[in-house]
């Protein structure tokens, strides 16, 4: 087990090195650079040259890369060209926002998706099963931004129940030692802030969670259908175990294996793929940050942000692999 | 129904109840007090960069800076007309080289420091002495536009500076000495870039401090512009959480009419549709940069209102005369007659545009009452092309940008399509070219790669030099021409300090330009802001110099 973890961690080094080279070359292959993007209608060749000198972009690419590597090793990605602040600092503000949203979306999709899939399997072929199929098809096929605007229109504009933008009402003051607002509100024991942060999370989490919800429901249904025809389930039933206990101990636990894989993959996707949701809800996370950075040719942010996300993605997948061993002792990690 | 599904139903019901209960709390974030005061939340498109006027040129930074700081010369609200600011009056010496300002007395900075002639000179000297990356035009763009270079120019900075010195002759008198007369200085001093900051705060919070990193690059380290911006304006800086909110509070010691609002909070929401929904749901009370297609929705909602900014921009079709046959005046005229500008303005600007006859918007001094006009006349275009000895159709490459919406071209592709249809009628064959706006498209146009292209400009301040001076005073690759008569006329106009003579010179220049036809201006537009209906007293300005100090909340409560 330990050897497995160490090997996977060592593998990180070539992965990150390779990726950093790809990212480094890719952004430099884009037409134009940060200077032109910053100056817009006002760019002149002299002004562009001056800014390129400031960011070291007038140096040969291998020199730039070596510098970047040296600095990255110290977790210093340079300064953002647009905000002029250290990339690491911005990362520290934005990453918790994205994680909080991704976890909330995941929570929503698991809490609704697993039971939905389970019921559909139990009521296989009935109207309930068909309804869940339709619901999950809808979940996958409605574009997130459309769903987001619809949800905001109903729950905020028409009903006035929930906020439409940001993580916290502007009239609430809250210290952010962790950057996870729910956690920060708990630490401060501020019920009002907690409730406000939760309200701000609901719509973005539902919009973002709609696709994983549908996928999880379908996978759960299929897995439960498989498992409940297994011999050990029949045996458990035959020896007179209560149906609830059979479902919980034997069916669900075994059916959770493929579902966990999907959840792991989805968390990775949610961390990097919340772009649209973050934009529409003005959620100050990683997705909207990186998309703006592409538009602005913000090289330091792109280099640092993408590398960091890759690291997180690999680590999340490692955690998923480890969780297999916990769920199913038959799996040996080696 | 099984036990499991029943439990889930129960859980869902509980969730719905919880959401319902949330609604009872009400969610209107801004609150109007009965006295028109209270808190106003304004939706912005992004966070400011830093709150130091001399180091930024982006609209979101300037919007906040304008509330915290003031300038020597100001503008009458809603116009480009000069008005006293921190200086009550001024005089220009006969040779146009010395500007003497009488300062307002009894003014204090937010940190309690006195505002006086020494404070003014500290600021001017600070700008003139900028070093390192502060000299990049992404930072000190306005200083360079108005005063040229710096005391010690870095590589790539302008060599020459028109700034000579600042003298504090007595407590309340300041003389600004220039090395070359420039008539646009007074108007330029109304720019937020020349905001006067507290000298003590500049020093204490290291406004110009920085370290030179291992690559020899100057990296600023001070906290003046991020945590301690201190000026004399009607609002004081309170706090700033990036991505979330920037809070200003009323300056109760303000020397003039104090603001009614207790707080103004700026909240970044970069998506247009999201800003509109936040306004509809009451989370914000106003936002800027309304999309033309949303105007109808806002006007149709009686709890909301739309405010217009006077037109202060120009959209034009540019020609690069370095690429043949654009050097031929007959070809340029043929294009001018071949563009159906009225149709484009009527169709694609939601009633917010007017057809441009020259590069200068009508609100700006120097606008010429009569210039050569080019009404849509495809017959005439064909005739001109034949006179030029060309075989029809004449092939031209027409560039337009993608991924951009500008006040002067909300949807460039539609402008392009309409223009190329009318040009085909006029005897041209169009080869379309497109690229993402920034940096690709702008880069290609600036480098002189585009033969015929869509572009435009939004003014920085109410001076003709800021429009036609920027475009035509020096040779530029995008235009690809050298017309000494026009260069000289614009130099002469810029140096003229007699305001009437200056106006005539700029009018002359406009006439000359419209005969020479380096490009065809086609539209001036009125950008729009949106507010809740009960927000009163916001005065839109052509140059976006707008104060929240006159704003009140609560509709009828607006009487003072």
Is there a contact between B41 and A37 if contact means CB atoms under 8 Å apart? no
Higher pLDDT, B474 or B533: B533
Closest CA to A93 of A296, A301, A281: A301
pLDDT at A334: 53
The nearest alpha carbon in chain B to A79 belongs to B219
Q: Stretch A307-330: mean pLDDT, rounded?
A: 79
Contact between chains at A41 and B455 (C-beta distance less than 8 A): yes
Other C-beta atoms closer than 10 Å to the C-beta of A116 total 26
**Torsion angle of alpha carbons B265, B271, B277, B278, nearest 10°?**
-10
Measured between CA atoms, the residue of chain B closest to residue A157 is B281
Task: Calculate ∠ Cα A63-A68-A72, nearest 5°.
Answer: 155
Beta-bridged to residue B402, according to DSSP, are B436
**SS3 letters for chain A?**
CHHHHHHHHHHHHHHHHHHHHHHHHHHHHCCCCHHHHHHHHHCCHHHHHHHHHHCCCCCCHHHHHHHHHHHHHCCCCCECCCCCCEHHHHHHHHHHHHHHHHHHHHHHHHHHHHHHHHHHHHCCCCHHHHHHHHHHHHHHHCCHHHHHHHHHHHHHHHCCCCCCCCCCCCCCCCCCCCCCHHHHHHHCCCHHHHHHHHHHHHHHHHHHHHHHHHHHHHHHHHHHHHHCCCHHHHHHHHCCCCHHHHHHHHHHHHHHHHHHHHHHHHHHHHHHHCHHHHHHCCCCCHHHHHHHHHHCCCHHHHHHHHHHHHHHHHHHHHHHHHHHHHHCCCCCCC
Q: Residue B478's closest chain A neighbor by CA? A: A44
Contacts of A119 in chain B (CB under 8 A): 2, 4-5, 8
Mean pLDDT for A309-322 is 82
**CB B281 within 8 Å of CB A163:** yes
The tens digit of pLDDT for each residue in A148-195 reads: 889 999 999 889 899 999 999 888 888 888 889 999 999 999 999 999
Burial B274-294 (b: 16+ CB within 10 A, else e): bbbbbbbbbbbbbbbbbebeb
Q: What is the mean pLDDT of residues B262-284?
A: 92
- When computed from its CA atoms, the radius of gyration of chain A, rounded to whole angstroms, is 24
pLDDT in tens, A265-307: 787 777 765 778 888 899 999 888 888 888 888 899 999 998 8
Q: What is the pLDDT of residue B214?
A: 65
Give residue for tokens 């001056």.
A50
Per-residue pLDDT tens digits for B86-114: 999 999 998 889 999 999 999 999 999 99
Q: What percent of chain A has pLDDT over 90?
A: 19
Contact A32 B3 (CB under 8 A): no
What is the rounded CA–CA span in Å between residue B139 and residue B130?
Answer: 10
Q: Count of A–B CB contacts within 8 Å?
A: 187
B6's CB contacts (< 8 A; 6+ apart) are: none
Measured CA angle at A167 (ends A281, A114), to 5 deg: 75
> Distance (Å) from the C-alpha of residue A173 to the closest C-alpha of chain B?
11
CA distance A111 to chain B (A): 9
Is B457's CB within 8 Å of A41's CB? yes
Please state the φ and ψ torsions of residue B198, each to the nearest 5 degrees. Answer: -65, 120
Q: Is the peptide bond before B439 cis (omega within 30 degrees of 0)?
A: yes
Which residues from B are below 8 Å from A281, CB to CB? 274
Angle at alpha carbon of residue B342, lines to B338 and B345, rounded to 5°:
120
* Dist. CA B494–CA B182, nearest whole Å: 6
Going B527 to A151 to A276 to A90, the CA torsion angle's sign is positive
Element (H, E) at B379: helix B378-387
How close, in Å, is residue B213 to chain A by CA atoms? 11
Going by C-beta distance under 8 Å and a sequence separation of 6 or more, which residues neighbour residue A141?
Answer: none
Planar angle of CA A92, A95, A100, nearest 5 degrees: 130
- Residue B304: name the closest of B290, B320, B318 by CA: B290
Closest residue to B269, CB basis, from A55, A165, A169: A165
Burial string for B244-258 (b: 16+ CB within 10 Å, else e) reads bbbbbbbbeebeeee
Calculate how close chain B gets to A152, using CA atoms only, in Å.
Answer: 7
Contact criterion met (CB < 8 Å) for A50 and B154: yes
Facing residue for B29 by CB, picked from A55, A171, A280: A171
- Determine the distance in angstroms separating the CA of A112 from the nearest CA of chain B, rounded to an integer: 8
Q: How confident is the model at residue B167 (pLDDT cuts 50, 70, 90)?
A: very high
Work out the average pLDDT over B17-25. Answer: 40
- Dihedral (C-alpha) A184, A188, A191, A197: value to the nearest 10 degrees? -20
Task: Give the 3-state secondary structure of residue B131.
Answer: coil
The secondary structure element, H or E, covering residue B516 is helix B499-516
What's the rounded mean pLDDT across residues A91-97? 91
Question: ipTM of this predicted complex?
Answer: 0.86
In this structure, chain A runs to a length of 334
DSSP 3-state percent helix, strand, coil across chain B (nearest 5): 35, 25, 45
On chain A, the residues whose CB falls within 8 A of the CB of B269 are 165-166, 282
Residue A284 to residue B271, Cβ atoms within 8 A: no
Query: Measured between CB atoms, which of B19, B157, B245 is closest to A161?
Result: B19
| Total-model pTM | 0.84
The Cα of B541 is separated from the nearest Cα of chain A by a number of Å equal to 22
Find out whether B163 and B147 touch, Cβ atoms under 8 Å.
yes
- Contact list in B for residue A195 (CB cut-off 8 A) is 22, 25
Residue B240 pLDDT > 50, yes or no?
Answer: yes
Stated as kind and residue range, the H or E segment containing B106 is none
Closest CB to B136 among A50, A79, A161: A50
């Amino acid at each position: 087990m330990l050897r497995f973890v160490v090997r996977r961690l060592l593998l990180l080094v070539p992965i990150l090195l390779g990726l950093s080279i790809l990212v480094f070359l890719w952004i430099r292959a884009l037409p134009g650079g940060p200077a032109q993007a910053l100056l817009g209608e006002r760019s002149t060749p002299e002004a562009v040259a001056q800014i390129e000198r400031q960011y070291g972009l007038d140096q040969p690419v291998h020199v730039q890369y070596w510098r970047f590597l040296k600095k990255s090793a110290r977790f210093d990605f340079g300064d953002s060209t647009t905000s002029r602040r250290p990339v690491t600092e911005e990362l520290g503000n934005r990453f918790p926002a994205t994680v909080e949203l991704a976890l909330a979306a995941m929570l929503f999709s698991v809490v609704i998706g697993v039971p939905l899939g389970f019921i559909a399997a139990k009521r296989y072929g009935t109207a309930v099963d068909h309804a869940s199929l339709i619901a999950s098809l809808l979940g996958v096929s409605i574009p997130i931004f459309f769903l987001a605007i619809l949800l905001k229109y109903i729950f905020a504009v028409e009903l006035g129940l929930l906020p439409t933008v940001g993580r916290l009402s502007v009239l609430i003051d809250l210290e952010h030692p962790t950057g996870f607002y729910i956690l920060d509100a708990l630490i401060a024991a501020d019920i009002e802030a907690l409730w406000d942060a939760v309200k701000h999370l609901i719509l973005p989490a539902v919009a973002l969670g709609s696709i994983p919800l549908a996928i999880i429901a379908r996978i759960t249904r299929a897995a439960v259908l498989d498992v409940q025809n297994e011999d050990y389930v029949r045996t458990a039933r035959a020896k007179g175990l209560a149906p609830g206990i059979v479902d919980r101990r034997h069916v669900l636990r075994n059916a959770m294996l493929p579902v966990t894989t999907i959840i792991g993959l989805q968390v990775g996707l949610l961390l990097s793929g919340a772009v649209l949701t973050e934009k529409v809800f003005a959620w100050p996370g990683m997705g909207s940050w990186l998309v703006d950075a592409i538009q602005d040719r913000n090289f330091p942010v792109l280099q640092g942000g993408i590398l960091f996300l890759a690291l997180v993605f690999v680590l999340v997948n490692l955690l998923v692999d480890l969780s297999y061993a916990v769920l199913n002792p038959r799996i040996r990690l080696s | 129904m099984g036990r499991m599904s029943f439990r889930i139903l129960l859980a869902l019901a509980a969730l719905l109840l919880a959401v319902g209960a949330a609604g009872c709390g009400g969610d209107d974030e801004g609150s109007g007090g009965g006295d028109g005061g209270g808190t106003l939340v304004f939706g912005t498109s992004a966070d400011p960069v830093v709150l130091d006027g001399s180091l930024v040129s982006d609209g979101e930074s300037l919007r906040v800076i304008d509330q915290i700081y003031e300038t020597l010369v100001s503008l009458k609200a809603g116009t480009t007309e000069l008005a006293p600011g921190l200086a009550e009056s001024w005089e220009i010496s006969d040779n146009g080289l010395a500007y003497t300002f009488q300062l307002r007395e009894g003014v204090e900075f937010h940190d309690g420091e006195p505002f006086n002639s020494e404070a003014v000179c500290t600021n001017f000297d600070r700008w003139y002495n900028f070093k390192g990356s502060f000299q990049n035009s992404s930072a000190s763009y306005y200083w360079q536009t108005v005063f040229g270079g710096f005391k010690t120019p870095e590589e790539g900075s302008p060599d020459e500076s028109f700034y000579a010195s600042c003298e504090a002759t007595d407590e309340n008198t300041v003389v600004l000495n220039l090395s070359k007369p420039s008539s646009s200085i007074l108007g330029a001093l109304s720019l937020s870039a020349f905001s006067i900051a507290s000298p003590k705060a500049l020093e204490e919070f290291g406004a110009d401090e920085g370290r030179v990193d291992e690559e020899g690059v100057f990296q600023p380290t001070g906290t003046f512009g991020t945590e301690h911006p201190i000026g004399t304006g009607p609002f004081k800086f309170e706090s700033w959480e990036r991505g979330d909110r920037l809070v200003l509070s009323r300056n109760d010691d303000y020397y003039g009419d104090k603001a009614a609002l207790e707080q103004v909070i700026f909240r970044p929401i970069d998506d247009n549709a999201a800003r509109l929904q936040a306004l509809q749901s009451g989370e914000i009370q106003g936002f800027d940069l309304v999309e033309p297609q949303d105007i109808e929705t806002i006007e149709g909602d009686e709890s909301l209102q739309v405010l217009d900014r006077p037109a202060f921009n120009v959209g034009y079709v540019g020609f690069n005369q370095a690429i043949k046959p654009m050097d031929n005046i007959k070809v340029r005229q043929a294009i001018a007659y071949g563009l159906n500008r009225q149709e484009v303005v009527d169709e694609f600007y939601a009633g917010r545009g007017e057809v441009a006859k020259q590069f200068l918007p009508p609100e700006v001094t120097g606008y010429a009452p009569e210039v050569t006009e080019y009404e849509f006349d495809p017959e005439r275009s064909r005739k001109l092309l034949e006179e030029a000895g060309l075989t029809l159709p004449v092939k031209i490459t027409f560039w337009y940008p993608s991924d951009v919406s500008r006040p002067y071209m909300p949807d460039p592709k539609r402008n392009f399509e309409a223009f190329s249809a009318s040009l085909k009628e006029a005897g041209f064959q169009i080869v379309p070219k497109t690229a993402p706006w920034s940096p690709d498209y702008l880069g290609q146009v600036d480098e002189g790669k585009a033969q015929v292209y869509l572009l435009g400009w939004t003014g920085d301040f109410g001076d003709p030099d800021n429009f036609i001076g920027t475009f035509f005073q020096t040779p530029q690759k995008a235009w690809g021409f050298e017309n000494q008569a026009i260069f000289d006329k614009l130099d002469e106009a810029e140096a003229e300090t007699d305001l009437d003579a200056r106006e005539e010179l700029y009018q002359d220049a406009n006439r000359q330009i419209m005969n020479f036809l380096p490009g065809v201006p086609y539209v001036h537009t009125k950008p729009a802001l949106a507010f809740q209906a009960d927000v009163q007293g916001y005065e839109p300005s052509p140059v976006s110099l707008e104060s929240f100090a006159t704003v009140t909340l609560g509709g009828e409560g607006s009487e003072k």
